[in-house]
Chain A
């Protein structure tokens, strides 16, 4: 049995006839920052959701220390791209709600939150309602919420998307500090420069498959390129797939009727996450 913390074995994920991920095999060990890098629609968010146990794979297994990850969610800390904060609650109430769900005593959660809030420069805002929070403050609060119960692994979906330079740097610094303290972070991004700065290991996801997996230097050696951007282009040179494909059997009239009735275009079938 391997000493991997998170194991993904032969995982595929389909939404109807659309294949979001196929033949994914990964092992994630502790004490690393792992970057999931890929363009929009590549499958990063779906892969993260499988790792977070909120989705079940169509085939294959996602295991946390040998057990199905869906039964081990208490060991995970997740920051989805939408942050998911309740605007009528204060930042601390948002954090406390989640920590109580994880069975953590309020005092313990508060101490952990205070500790990380100082690093993220958010201590003064913990008692404020999150309604007026900036994107950066929301992201930081979501991070504090994910850390409050002391997870073994942190899953971050585009944690710096939409953040100003200072906030993005603060988040990246915290991620590195967590790694230095022995933590494990899986970090989804489509910024190569950011991945290079933060990640020990980069997994390039493209068209629902893993194109490369290794340290930034490994990727450069593999592609014989001088920088990661060129390496990424070389590894993903085939055309990115359309986000979804509509089944051919549906008539034009049926498609028009569906769009008329639902107001949604057919390409939302497989999910509208920013993959």
Chain B
């Protein structure tokens, strides 16, 4: 009997998977996008940003210098690829930050920035008129501010020295001794685990839920809409076996998507680790195993729930309009969970639906194996997964699946 049940489930899921992957759009959604999303986010995007920044660095920007000219500062500006035009300060401005008649010159992007400098009774006053919506203008402002800071420090140091004071001791009377990184008791691997725990559970939760939608709809409401469900219900298997077969197919497709996404993430992390940006997380095998169980239970629950909703629908459109907004119920706890402090957390949090699995994943990524928490999330999650499976089975047993075929 058991082997017959397994045969039904195996045959149904194999057929569903074959049929599903014969659509090239599915292959893109299930394989290409999950595989590339993290490398694109963590490697390609920073590379693109670096390239854009380098391009901006190479530019010579047009700047007007109005008012007094200070020789040391002038020398610093000459090293910044600024094409300087000198002008007198106009009298129509109330203060240096008031653009006055220069407003149009900036807004028309005739110049990238206007630097104003005035020596007022021994104090240097300045302003940089700029257009914050222009990248060139923002870059000109940033370059000038950097040089101004250096020049200001030179002025302060000079004043302090003239007064017989040692600048470093005067300006930094309290300082950290040694390298602050060495003072952290957490290893690089643990720090990496913490960083990953802040978004991996969210990624897994949201991706599992979203990637299960399309196959869930296709295998239920899609069958109803295409008129293939009645022939399927005439087969000798029970409807629970039918549900199990379809569940296995959706879970497999979703697992492949999540697995590839994690593979892409690991590749990105390895790449970043080689650049010493982030360490490789150190997690024990028991944590990895429990993490796998947590993801599996989560998948059982989410996929069963989505199959049930999709089976309840009369058409693909109806199923889509129900399951699309339902993702909010996954996303909200996923985001909420990131803000829960794990130190001294109460055990009841590990019994809250969805939150429990997400918290469990966070804890395990930090390699914290706490028996009490494990028991609570394991028991409660199995209960919720059981309820979801029971609800799905009820939907599959409904008689109007046949009576109201689309």
Residues of A within 8 A of B (CB): 15, 49, 52-56, 73-74, 76, 78-80, 82-89, 93, 97-98, 100-103, 142, 145, 264, 268, 270-273
Contacts and interface: CB of A to CB of B under 8 A. Distances in A.
6 contacts: A54-B230, A82-B230, A83-B227, A86-B226, A101-B11, A272-B405
Contacts of B49: none
B231 A142 contact: yes
Given A74-B236, A85-B228, A102-B236, A49 B402 contact: yes
A54 B18 contact: no
Interface string B64-94: 0000000000000000000000000000000
Interface string B175-211: 0000000000000000000000000000000000000
B233 interface: yes
B227 A86 contact: no
Nearest to B403: A271
Interface in B348-406: 399-400, 402-406
B234 A54 contact: yes
A102 to B, nearest CB: 6
Nearest to B239: A54
A89 B226 CA distance: 14
A95 to B, nearest CB: 11
Nearest to A72: B236
Contact of B234 (A73, A88, A97): A73
B19 interface: yes
A211 to B, nearest CB: 23
B15 interface: yes
A88 B24 CA distance: 11
Interface residues of B, number: 30
Contacts of B405: 82, 271-273
B21 to A, nearest CB: 9
Given A78-B231, A84-B227, A89 B18 contact: yes
A57 to B, nearest CB: 11
Nearest to A74: B236
Contact of B11 (A83, A88, A97, A264): A97
Nearest to A98: B235
B231 A83 contact: yes
A52 B234 contact: yes
A78 B234 contact: yes
A74 to B, nearest CB: 4
B237 interface: yes
B403 A55 contact: yes
Given A74-B236, A89-B15, A93-B18, 14 more contacts: A15-B403, A54-B402, A84-B232, A88-B23, A89-B18, A93-B15, A100-B11, A101-B8, A101-B235, A101-B237, A102-B236, A103-B7, A270-B403, A272-B404
A55 to B, nearest CB: 6
A268 B406 CA distance: 10
7 smallest A-B Cβ distances: which pairs?
A: A84-B231, A82-B227, A271-B403, A78-B234, A74-B236, A84-B228, A80-B230
A82 B228 contact: yes
Contact of A56 (B228, B236, B399, B404): B399
B55 interface: no
Given A101-B11, A101-B237, A80 B403 contact: no
Given A15-B403, A88-B22, A103-B7, A73 B230 contact: no
A145 to B, nearest CB: 8
A53 B234 CA distance: 7
A257 to B, nearest CB: 17
Interface in B216-254: 226-237
A101 B400 CA distance: 23
A271 B232 CA distance: 18
B343 interface: no
B400 to A, nearest CB: 7
Given A54-B234, A98-B235, A84 B403 contact: no
B4 interface: yes
A273 B19 CA distance: 26
Nearest to B315: A263
A273 B228 contact: no
A268 B227 CA distance: 16
A88 B19 contact: yes
Interface in B9-60: 11-12, 15, 18-19, 22-23
A76 B233 CA distance: 12
A101 B236 contact: yes
Contacts of A85: 228, 231
Contacts of A98: 231, 235
Q: Which of B12, B226, B227, B402 has most chain A Cβ within 10 Å?
A: B402
B229 to A, nearest CB: 7
A74 B231 CA distance: 13
Contacts of A52: 234
B11 A55 contact: no
Contacts of B19: 86, 88-89
Contacts of A86: 15, 19, 226, 228
Contacts of B228: 82, 84-86
Contacts of B231: 78-80, 82-85, 98, 142, 145
A273 B401 CA distance: 12
Contacts of A54: 230, 233-234, 402
A271 B400 contact: yes
B24 to A, nearest CB: 11
Nearest to A46: B403
Nearest to B237: A101
* Max chain A Cβ within 10 angstroms of own Cβ: one of B8, B11, B12, B22: B11
B403 A273 contact: yes
Contacts of A87: 226
Contacts of B4: 103
Interface string B277-314: 00000000000000000000000000000000000001
